[in-house]
């Protein structure tokens, strides 16, 4: 009697290869492969970036199959779909993702984001928002890694895009199999970077999986789509199998980029050794070769949370920093920060809010008085040391003014009065910081200078006394030495 069972399909080589690539990549990223750990009583999942497109649909299906095969690293899954709100079909894509995840019994989280361009192209801005949402989801669930479905064709396309844009080695390195992502050791894993798009297409067909197609993927006005539709087919015709050779070149560039990052880290460590926090020594920077100067400075800016400037901009920063005749002459703005020079040091500070206006206050005995026009508060601190007489300070209004020129001041009882310019120089206060320091006047007499202290001729040691302290809203860098 003939069997009524449906013959079991022989595994396809592409199917087997994708399963193996996914398993090996995830196990290499997970610190200790084994049963999922628990965070707040819940098992920690493997986070899968799921757009609903062809590649990520294959990823979620493959992960579910590895879970069914009891591969430990896949015991707990979480698909995360980022809703950018940029396409008319965005809500329909959410419904598709929900339906597929239900059919596979894979939990799904929808993360809605607002895409803020901030000088970026819309694709780049959406990518920043997407990765931020994925990292946030992973951290909330205590995940060790986030898995995306980028494949070999994506990697080659990215390399070509960066090459056409004139990117450096970090850009040309495209995306690696593993990289640090977010904080706390989180890893971003791309298991399919050795798999061609055709392999994933075949897997989708064999498994009869439905997926969504972004209409923008066919718009050849976008550079990536133009490369995919026109350039890559021509390259394949001219040199069949070129993608694997290109991937080897990308790997070599990535190795070179990693080596250069190590050199930059060593040079930067030398440039900041014994310098105040967040600053670097210009003399040591100048001793490096031009290429290493740029690497060290780029690493310094990155450590401060700034996006890398263009090569031309970076070279201009280095030129001005090393050749400006006076500290006050260097003023460069980067993403809301100011790049300044002070006594052989290069430093970043919050951008100056502009010229301060005069402000009059009446002290009634409160601990501090806010002065919004100066961006800070004037504190009145009781003291048993020398200070201003309380009643004397309360009796008349106090006025906060900006420097004009030629003001003289006597902060030391045993030393003669000097000009404010000379006193600021002696105190090591940078010229560009002085405009943000208010002068406190009473009845047209200068009684206190922020950063220098009180006029020694007006303080007393008897009776109830207070000392004045100026506190800006944001703590300024300590640039005194």
Compare 4 and 155 and report the one with higher pLDDT: 155
Residue 196 has pLDDT above 80, yes or no: yes
Query: Rounded to 5 degrees, what angle do the CA atoms 328, 333, 339 make?
Result: 50
Confidence label for 351 from pLDDT (cuts 50, 70 and 90): low
| pLDDT value of position 353 | 54
pLDDT interval class at 476 (50, 70, 90): very low
- Mean pLDDT across the chain: 85
Comparing C-alpha atoms, which of 345, 305, 311, 342 is closest to residue 425? Answer: 342
Q: In this predicted structure, what is the pLDDT of residue 273?
A: 92
Q: Write down the pLDDT at residue 2.
A: 47
CATH fold for domain 13-247: Rossmann fold (3.40.50)
For 239-267, the pLDDT digits (tens) are: 998 998 999 999 999 999 999 999 999 99
The predicted model gives 150-178 an average pLDDT of: 90
pLDDT attached to residue 398: 93
Residue extent(s) of CATH 3.40.50.620 domains in the chain: 13-247
3-state secondary structure the chain: CCCCCCCCCCCCHHHHHHHHHHHHHHHHHCCCCCCCCEECCEECCEEEECCCCHHHHHHHHHHHHHHHCCCHHHCCEEEEEEECCCCCCHHHHHHHHHHHHHHHCCCEEEEECCCCCCCCCHHHHHHHHHHHHHHHHHHHHCCCEEECCCEHHHHHHHHHHHHHCCCCHHHHCCCCCEEECCCCCCEEECCECCCCHHHHHHHHHHHCCCCCCCHHHHCCCCHHHHHHHHHHHHHHHHCCCHHHHHHHHHHHHHHHHHHHHHHHHHHHHHHHCCCCCCCEEHHHHHCCCHHHHHHHHHHHHHHCCCCCCCHHHHHHHHHHHHHCCCHHHCCEEECCEEEEEECCEEEEEECCCCCCCCEEECCCCCCEEEEHHHCEEEEEEEECCCEEEHHHHHHCCEEEECCCCCCEECCCCCCCCEEHHHHHHHHCCCHHHHCCCCEEEECCEEEEECCCEECHHHCECCCCEEEEEEEECCCCCCCCC
In the predicted model, is pLDDT for residue 203 greater than 90?
yes
Phi, psi of 83 (to 5 degrees): -95, 105
In this predicted model, what pLDDT tens digit does every residue of 93-150 receive, in sequence order? 999 999 999 999 999 999 998 888 766 677 778 888 899 999 999 999 999 899 999 9
Tens digits of per-residue pLDDT, 73-90? Answer: 999 999 999 998 778 888
pLDDT (tens digit per residue) in 417-474: 888 888 888 888 877 678 778 899 999 899 899 989 888 898 887 888 899 999 886 4
Give me the residue label for tokens 């064709």: 153
Least confident residue range of 200-214, 259-273, 358-372: 358-372
Residues of the chain with CATH 1.20.59.20: 273-350
Q: Are strands 465-472 and 376-383 parallel, antiparallel or unpaired?
A: antiparallel
Over residues 20-45, the mean pLDDT reads 72
Q: Calculate what percentage of the chain has a pLDDT beyond 90.
A: 45
User: In this predicted structure, what is the pLDDT of residue 238?
Assistant: 95
Return phi, psi of residue 371, to 5°. Answer: -125, 85
Instruction: Provide the pLDDT for residue 352.
Output: 61
**pLDDT at 218 exceeding the cut of 90:** no
Average confidence (pLDDT) over 331-356: 74
Report if pTM > 0.85: no
8 vs 423: which has the higher pLDDT: 423
How high is the pLDDT of residue 119? 64
User: What is the rounded distance in angstroms from the CA atom of residue 198 to the CA atom of residue 236?
Assistant: 13
CATH hierarchy code of domain 273-350: 1.20.59.20
């Amino acid at each position: 009697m003939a069997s009524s069972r449906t013959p079991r399909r022989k595994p396809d080589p592409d199917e087997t290869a994708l399963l193996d690539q996914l398993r090996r990549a995830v196990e290499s990223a997970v610190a200790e492969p084994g049963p999922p750990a628990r965070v707040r009583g819940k098992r920690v999942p493997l986070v899968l970036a799921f757009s609903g497109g062809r590649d990520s649909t294959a990823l979620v299906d493959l992960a579910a199959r590895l879970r069914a095969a009891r591969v430990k690293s896949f015991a707990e899954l979480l698909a995360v779909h980022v809703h950018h709100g940029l396409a008319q079909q965005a809500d329909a894509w959410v419904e598709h993702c929900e339906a597929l995840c239900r059919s596979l019994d894979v939990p799904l989280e929808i993360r809605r984001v607002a895409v803020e361009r901030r000088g970026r192209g819309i694709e780049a801005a959406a990518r920043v928002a997407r990765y931020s949402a994925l990292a946030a989801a992973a951290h909330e669930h205590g995940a060790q890694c986030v898995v995306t479905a980028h494949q070999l064709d994506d990697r080659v396309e990215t390399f070509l895009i960066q090459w056409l844009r004139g990117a450096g080695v970090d850009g040309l390195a495209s995306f690696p199999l593993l990289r640090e992502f977010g904080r706390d050791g989180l890893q971003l894993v791309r298991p399919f970077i050795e798999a061609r798009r055709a392999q994933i297409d075949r897997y989708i067909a064999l498994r009869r999986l439905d997926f969504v197609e972004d209409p923008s993927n066919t718009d050849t006005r976008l550079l990536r789509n133009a490369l995919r539709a026109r350039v890559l087919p021509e390259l394949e015709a001219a040199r069949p199998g070129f993608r694997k050779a290109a991937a080897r070149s990308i790997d070599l560039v990535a190795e070179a980029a990693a080596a250069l990052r190590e050199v930059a880290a060593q040079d930067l460590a030398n440039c900041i050794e014994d310098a105040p926090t967040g600053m670097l020594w210009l003399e040591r920077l100048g001793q490096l070769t031009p290429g290493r100067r740029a690497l060290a400075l780029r690493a310094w800016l990155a450590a401060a949370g700034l996006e890398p400037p263009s090569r031309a901009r970076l070279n201009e920063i280095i030129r001005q920093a090393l050749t400006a005749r006076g500290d006050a002459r260097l003023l460069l703005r980067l993403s809301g920060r100011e790049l300044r020079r002070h006594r052989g040091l290069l430093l970043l500070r919050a951008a100056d809010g502009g010229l301060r206006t005069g402000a009059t206050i009446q002290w009634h005995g409160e601990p501090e008085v806010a002065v919004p026009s100066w961006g800070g508060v004037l504190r009145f601190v009781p003291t048993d040391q020398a200070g201003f007489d309380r009643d004397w300070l309360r009796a008349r209004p106090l006025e906060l003014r900006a420097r004009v020129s030629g003001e003289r001041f006597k902060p030391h009882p045993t030393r003669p009065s000097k000009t404010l310019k000379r006193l600021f120089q002696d105190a090591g206060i940078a010229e560009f910081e002085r405009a943000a320091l208010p002068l406190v006047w009473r009845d047209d007499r200068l009684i206190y200078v922020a950063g220098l202290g009180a006029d020694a001729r007006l303080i007393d040691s008897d009776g109830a006394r207070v000392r004045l302290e100026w506190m800006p809203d944001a703590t300024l860098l300590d640039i005194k030495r």
